[in-house]
Chains A and B, each alone.
Chain A
Amino acid sequence: MSVQAWTYLIVGASFALYIGIALWTRVASTKDFYVAGGGVHPVANGMATAADWMSAASFISMAGLISFMGYDGSVYLLGWTGGYVLLALLLAPYLRKFGKFTVPDFVGDRYFSDTARLVAVVCALFVSFTYVAGQMRGVGIVFSRFLEVDITTGVIIGMAIVFFYAVLGGMKGITYTQVAQYCVLIFAYMVPAIFISMLLTGHVLPQSGMGGVLADGSGTYLLDKLDGLNVALGLAPYTDGSKGMADVFCITLALMVGTAGLPHVIVRFFTVPKVRDARKSAGWALLFIAILYTTAPAVATFARVNMIDTINGPDSVGTLYEEAPTWVANWEKTGLIKWEDKNGDGRMFYAGDARNEMTIDRDIMVLANPEIANLPAWVIALIAAGGLAAALSTAAGLLLVISSAISHDLLKKVVMPSISEKQELLFARIAAAVAIGIAGLLGIYPPGFVAEVVAFAFGLAAASFFPAILLGIFDKRTNAHGAVSGMIAGMVFTIGYILYFKGIFMTPMAANVKENWLFGVSPEGIGSIGMLINFAVAIVVSRLTPPPPQHVQDLVESIRIPRGAGSASHIAH
């Protein structure tokens, strides 16, 4: 069977599985009253959380970034893993104790202010939009390759699929569907990684394969070979960093704290009724996330070695275009690989300097990896199913957040309180459709690569929510004025900085190079500076204005006392 036939089969089967599970959950009514709340095992919930967490950025993009950035790409690994831990330990338990589901609700109640709620809703929308845009680009890439269309058509097909899946299908947060999605995506990620690891190094585990010796009998370490290749092609050694320390620190920090503001993941921590089970779920989720995250650097390394080998040829003089490997030919159709014969020798050549003739989109690395390694067609198809699972599970959760934020928090509570339930539902669907439209547009004209787009989303979340949440929990003196002005200041600064250098929908106002950056911090990491500004503004403004009402202060005191978080002394009955 061809790759395409396998893709239809496997993607079709995985979708049938998700829909089947969703229907089965709906039909299987519980036998007893009041049992709806319990019943999901922490392991299952951990998988569901991991599926929510791992988006197209994790699945499709992260290894690609590492592949091209080398050591610098590790900021994404550190940031996202650390962010999860931060969320699980520092924020989720308190938000749960406070009893509010969404960040805007928490902010609105804690600061006792509808203005604060409104600002938080707007920030949440902005962050979610950016994040969905990243997913849409990922879905578009998958479709463009496997349906052999250009990326724009791919994104449009992706939009339609996401709309049906998330908006009309009502596939929101059904735990077992997400468990299935996790299984599909982790299987899809691991199978090619293990295959290639065995081919290249003879190690079964990709994690150890990356640090292992090549299987060609040369006795060279894989990473040494890659460093050598990089240097020979005029690049910095793969294992050396090029980013400034401040920049690395800021990007990592922005990714970490930005995580806290991602609304769809926080909700996952509340869907387990018992606090003890919620903690176990968080632990399992971390393990399930780590399986993919620790494999990503290996995938990146294998893909890069194979890519350079197949393009430049074994003797590093380039491959004749007529004899180009099939993966190059296949991906050329999507427009994500381009060859420009600068020296007119009819050979393709990849390098980091003037000799380079190839333009390769970093986001294709994970998807193209099995093709580059000449793996069987079904493995290539599996990757497509995995990428879709990752993008869809995240997009569905986020679209739900966006549509309910617009229809409920914004329209029903603020703008048009008199709308009926049916109108509210209609507005929710319209909002989701518009969100998908805008996200699709951003997917077609991306301001960066998927992972970078997502990094912006995290940066914005870091600059807006995180200080409001953290001060809300730990500083009872912070009031509505402080929180609102802090969020606005952080948000405006961060958006301004990103626009200044990246120019989304407009020409950048300055070259996006280290010399122009503030304190040497790139737009990806500027959320951290935005966060510091937010903190400073919030604290100063709060001290200059009257303190919050006494009952709010008492509430803040009580949130931090662990008593009664759910595992209170058992009472016999």
Chain B
Amino acid sequence: MTSSVDLDHRQPPFDLLSVDQLARLQRSTDLVYFAAGEASLQEGSASTAVFVIYRGRFQALRITSEGTRENFSEYGPGDVIGAFSVMTGKARYTYEALEQSLCFAIDAAAFLKAQKDNPAFAAWFLEGLSAKRQMLAAQDRPGELAQAMLTRVGDAQLAPALFLNKDSTLREARLEMKRLGVSCALVPDTQLGPGILTRTDLLDALALDDRSPNDPIAPLLRRPLVGVRPQEVLFQALVSMTEHHVERVVVQDGAQILGTIGMAEVLSHYSSHSHLIGLQLARASRVEDVRAAALRIPDLVRSLHAQGARISFLTELVSALNGRVLARLWELMVPAPWRDQICLLVLGSEGRREQILKTDQDNALILPEGLDWPELNDTMIDFGNELQACGWPPCPGGVMVRNPHWRHDLSHWRTSIAHWSRSSDPQALLDFAITVDARPVAGHLDFFESLRATFFDAARNDVVLHHFAAAALAFHTPLTLFGNLKAGDQGTDIKRGGVFPLVHGLRTLALRHGVPDRNSFRRAEGVAAAGGMSEQLARDVQQALSVFLRLRLSQQLETARQGQTPDNFLRIAQLRRLDRELLRDALGVVDSFKSLLRRTFHL
């Protein structure tokens, strides 16, 4: 089975293979011919080979139930098709030759073996798939820049919904669950709203609370239901479960309940471990257990990112997990009377829910007026040390609970915020900016609400905002006069050139328009809704930001894997062509956004 032409060893991803690995792959490779109109692969089928186009063109398409053809992208020489099908056992599209074509056909088993032997080669396909899906998504939905669309909740295997009367007994409930093979039941109630009864609750009631099987189920019901909509992506279900500490959510389309979906079903679609981390956190009774769970988050990020998870989902999931780590540590480390009187805030990127890899521990406390607790300082030093052990490096600027300057009562906070907002020195502006993003995560959460009005009060002053916004324009967008990417010796600093101008600009616009959201993506929506920018620009800004975050994450994960400290520089030369183009477009968006800031804030 030797072919007269060899796989091009210079062409990605085959350049990732060693000489031996390539030779092995080569031995299982055939050159095959397709006539025009002939399909190399049928949608939904498992492919026996991965095809690399040598000559000719292919078209990805779907044939609908009515028999009409929906065309997706075209592929040409060098493109790889069928890898997804080999890896998942199910082709997403039918691939049809548009003209006479020649392809290398790599035997599926050999391909999988090569992936197993060479993680970089495997990762290329995982990332490559996500990029390709992005391209397809962009074609599917014109105007929206590519973002990987994962499986929708509605497409997943749902457990049927079992409805019970609220007067049912525990015994009846259990029998019905058993009959349908489900682990929870839903109970409609016009007054209190629907409730849910899980098998665990039911068993706990019988075994631990001395309930009789003839007792009614009503007292055991949990409300309100945590729900997801069928058109939401599966990942959202995972985020909701993690956030609400539940293992099952209800799938509802408007008022209609379609069924329930549990952690297990979701996980059959992901090889991730976010539920395990969540479980581990819930069970953790010692600080050491929390730490163990927290230290697994980076691996989760790595694997989800490799699978092409949307960056905004990733940030939400990670921040939900981080929030739980912090809350759990707070409960374990701060003794009872004080625990509920003090409010723990996370600031900056963690507050915005945009910290994917832990960069530093920006946090602060709101203390009750006249707090008298001599151990406060020692406890907070311990708390900070534990956070460091959990992977949060100390904040170089000292914005940490262990620092007395970041522990104030409400009135002191108000004075500080008013002062920072009017001051011009960089430190005050930085303090103001990270505090604007503050989010309460543990303790007396309500404290924070009364503080938020202070920000918006300060922001009523255009002069204050003018000086605040100026920082967003301090850095040059790394594009040349002709719109090409500009890079220094270390690469392109994407934090200065892209992330910071967008994040800070959105923060300032959100303040100006009274948008309460903290997350940059939500802020963009909020500002657009308030008339602060056009819907189009808001969408562009969101997409640009996710391009920056995704590319930065890829490179940071890679840097970390090599044992170096991740930084904010993008090595342009290492980006794929598609990503380079995305990056260039995204930086173009930064320029438009900056010009909006100039006009809005008289800069």
Contacts and interface: CB of A to CB of B under 8 A. Distances in A.
Interface of A: 26-27, 29-30, 32-38, 96, 98-102, 105, 267, 270-271, 273-274, 404, 408, 417, 420-422, 424-425, 428, 564, 566, 568-573
A38 B425 contact: yes
Interface stretch (B45-53, B328-336, B471-479): B471-479
B168 interface: no
Given A33-B471, A420-B536, 13 more contacts: A32-B426, A34-B426, A34-B429, A37-B471, A101-B602, A270-B463, A270-B466, A274-B424, A404-B599, A421-B537, A421-B592, A564-B422, A568-B422
A421 B533 contact: yes
- Chain B, interface size category, equals 35 or more
Contacts of B470: 36-37
Q: For A566, A570, A573, which residue has the most chain B Cβ atoms within 10 angstroms? A: A573
B599 A96 contact: no
B489 to A, nearest CB: 15
Contact of B475 (A30, A38, A568): A30
Contacts, number: 100
B500 A408 contact: no
B123 interface: no
A267 B464 contact: no
Contacts of B467: 37, 273
28 contacts: A29-B474, A29-B476, A33-B426, A33-B430, A33-B471, A33-B500, A34-B427, A34-B430, A36-B473, A37-B468, A38-B424, A98-B461, A99-B462, A101-B466, A101-B602, A105-B462, A267-B602, A270-B463, A273-B467, A274-B424, A404-B599, A424-B599, A428-B599, A564-B422, A568-B422, A570-B419, A571-B419, A573-B427
A564 B418 contact: yes
B476 A27 contact: yes
Interface of chain B, main secondary structure: helix
B412 to A, nearest CB: 8
Contact of A420 (B416, B504, B534, B595): B534
B461 A99 contact: yes
Nearest to B533: A421
Nearest to A270: B463
Given A29-B496, A36-B470, A100-B462, A573 B416 contact: yes
A96 B426 contact: no
B463 A30 contact: no
B396 interface: no
List 10 tightest A-B contacts by C-beta distance, closest first: A273-B424, A99-B461, A36-B474, A36-B470, A34-B429, A37-B467, A34-B426, A35-B426, A30-B474, A34-B471
A566 B534 CA distance: 33
Contacts of A270: 463, 466, 602
Q: For A35, A274, A417, A420, which residue has the most chain B Cβ atoms within 10 angstroms? A: A35
A421 B595 contact: yes
Interface in B394-448: 405, 415-416, 418-419, 422-431, 433
B596 interface: yes
Contacts of A420: 534, 536-537
A425 B419 contact: no
A74 B130 CA distance: 76
A468 to B, nearest CB: 18
Contacts of A566: 422-423
B576 interface: no
Contacts of B433: 34
A421 B419 contact: no
Contacts of A569: 419
A421 B500 contact: no
B533 A99 contact: no
A36 B474 CA distance: 6
Nearest to A401: B602
Interface string B72-114: 0000000000000000000000000000000000000000000
